[in-house]
Copies of this chain bind each other. A is one copy, B any other.
Amino acid sequence: MPQPPIEKLAIDTIRTLSIDAVQKANSGHPGAPMALAPVAYALWQNVLRYDPSEPTWPNRDRFVLSNGHASMLLYSVLHLTGVRQVDHEGRALDAPAVSLDDIKSFRQLGSRTPGHPEYRLTSGVESTTGPLGQGAANSVGMAIASRWLGARYNRPGLTLFDFDVYAILGDGCMMEGISSEAASLAGHLKLPNLCWLYDNNHISLDGKLALSFSEDVPERFEAYGWATTHVTDANDLAQLAKAFQFFKQQGRPTLIVVDSHIGYGSPKRQDTSAAHGEPLGEDQVRAAKQFYGWPEDAQFLVPDGVREHFQQGIGIRGRKLRQEWEATRERYRKEAPDLSRDLDLIDRFELPPGWDAELPVFPADPKGMATRESGGQVLNALAKRIPWLLGGAADLSGSTKVTIKGEPNLAAGEPGGRNIYYGVREHAMGAIVNGMVLSKLRAFGSTFLTFTDYMRAPIRLSSLMEIPAFHVMTHDSIGLGEDGPTHQPIEQLASLRAMPGLLVIRPGDANEVTECYRVVMESKHHPAILSLSRQALPTFDRTKYAPASGARKGAYVLAEAEGGKPEVLLMATGSEVRLIVEAHEKLKAEGIRARAISMPCWEIFEQQSPEYRESVLPSSVTARVAVEQAAMFGWKAYVGRTGKILGMKSFGASAPIKDLLPHFGFTTDHVVAAAKEQLGRKGP
């Protein structure tokens, strides 16, 4: 038979590699790659400004596969375009990100082709996706970052940042609330560099999409302020090219609705939900190959000329773009040396020299201040020295104190603003922060601690991706008072501490806030939640007690027992540290040797040496009391099975703090009584 045109051959290679990989793994999602192969082809080959030989080139266009289950689409493209793997410092290696062997090891232990794309594992994967809607919202963060970097660092004639961001969304992404939130904010900010491709295939996992979805999607996006256009056949490369051109002309975010056929080419599976999440089966694999005009027996076939075709297209085009950019970058280095140094730091994810020079030291003060207040001061001191630190709150910046003073608000007409009004969109905020951090900015979000419940999924993904996104979460206990149980976090601390790799940090006074922020800023691979109080906390006298720098170890002896020989250990975090310090003093007056231990971050404490941990919590001392205005879950690890935990057994209540604290048992006297009880009953 005659050789089909090279475009079709390339597209069908994407399809058949995906089909074969899923079939060999006997697991995966063949339908979407079969449908979307021409879309990925059209984008990568002709539009995406991307150099496969330098996949971390800073101004590359970003491509996010929000429907991460279609991972084989991406892996096939990464393989065929020859994207190189990079090392931990971002240097391209002389090795493919995805080899043919990797494709043959799809979904196997240790391969670079896991079920859903994983950031850092596989070069060319810009974000870990799979939980639906997350990638779409990440893409908004990336588009904000592109604009922000451009506004802050481009100079006349020296355009370093203007990258575009593309995301593919399936029906699932479209139904998730997070994509609504993210699209609404993107429309508000008029992001001209954001393009979403909606895979409109009328099928979801449970069957016909009509079972659960009947929106007019373009109308919805127009309501957000987006431009929309329609590609009526995913296989029509001319329509696709036109749609991408349309996007470039809009000056606002653009939705391209692409009508596609899930499982395209499989006579029995096309347009069925069975094509979504199951291998086609040998029969249908062969039938689809027949439909494509492919040798039916061939597996993992890359026909002659296909790799070369990509090399001729995105390969040459991308390399040229990157080289031009590097020439500009060289000129920039000379013409704007200070800014250029900043960009080097950003690229290496490093902090500028002197970044901590203005960090405040707070004088001892029995009245003290709320940690949200000291937090705001520390954040501002950091922002002065780290120009690429930016963020904001989900409509609570007045309460959470995260405004960077003297800096403009980020807005459609002010893309370089550093104060971001995310709106009441916590879920999208989490994912947008991830997108900005993936673009190497130091970005943060903020709301009340309770509302981490709205954004667990992006917090989890930041942990999984090992990126240092951070969030300033205030009003962190029943101490917030009258707003009552709907707003008082109880189980949130425990539930976040359970997440692998996440730093949950609850400083006990203003100086601990400073030290904890050091930890957050120096972290390159751990996201963090800063848990801060609404109410004032005393600033401890550090001439009397241990220096706050101990907080950097996660837990430290704040007030030592007489002679360094404690008979009872008192532990607390955040606003309750004052209680154990006061109890320590009261017990001392009675001749009882109590050690007060501030434990702002369990995760970091657990990373310390066994010797250090034993020095803070000597195993010989079994009389132990922990105090935290939160669910007690998890504290047994430190107090043992017979220790006492003063915590919350229930949800909170709406009342002034002065009434809540005695009501729920959070007074110094309660701590003293618990310590004495422990001393009367030591045990295992």
Contacts and interface: CB of A to CB of B under 8 A. Distances in A.
A684 B622 contact: yes
A28 interface: yes
Nearest to A643: B641
Most buried by B among A460, A622, A663: A460
Contacts of A648: 500
Interface string A384-424: 00000000010111110000000001010000000001111
A576 interface: no
A486 B220 contact: no
Contacts of A128: 486
8 contacts: A108-B654, A110-B655, A176-B426, A188-B213, A206-B398, A213-B423, A219-B223, A500-B648
Given A177-B179, A180-B180, 19 more contacts: A28-B482, A107-B482, A107-B656, A109-B660, A116-B483, A173-B424, A176-B181, A188-B215, A205-B396, A212-B395, A212-B423, A273-B398, A451-B457, A453-B460, A495-B499, A499-B631, A500-B648, A634-B636, A636-B637
Given A28-B482, A131-B450, A177-B181, A107 B491 contact: no
Contact of A637 (B131, B211, B395, B641): B641
A130 to B, nearest CB: 3
Contacts of A463: 651
Nearest to A114: B654
A129 interface: yes
A498 interface: yes
A441 interface: no
Contacts of A222: 216, 219
Contact of A651 (B181, B214, B396, B500): B500
Contacts of A494: 494-495, 498, 633-634
B491 A464 contact: no
A184 B206 contact: no
Most buried by B among A631, A636, A641: A641
Contacts of A179: 177
Interface in A192-225: 204-206, 211-217, 219-220, 222-225
Interface in A356-407: 393, 395-399
B650 A500 contact: yes
A421 B212 contact: yes
A495 B500 CA distance: 12
Interface in A285-324: none
Contact of A457 (B453, B464, B650): B453
Contact of A129 (B28, B188, B486, B490): B486
A51 interface: no
A460 to B, nearest CB: 6
Contact of A206 (B421, B499, B650, B659): B421
A68 interface: yes
A482 B25 contact: yes
Most buried by B among A175, A499, A660: A175
A118 B491 contact: no
A633 B184 CA distance: 37
A187 B204 contact: no
A178 interface: yes
A472 to B, nearest CB: 15
B206 A188 contact: no
Given A128-B486, A181-B175, A619-B684, A393 B427 contact: no
Contacts of A654: 107-109, 111, 114-116, 118
A171 interface: yes
Given A215-B224, A654-B114, A395 B130 contact: no
A497 interface: yes
Contact of A177 (B427, B456, B487): B427
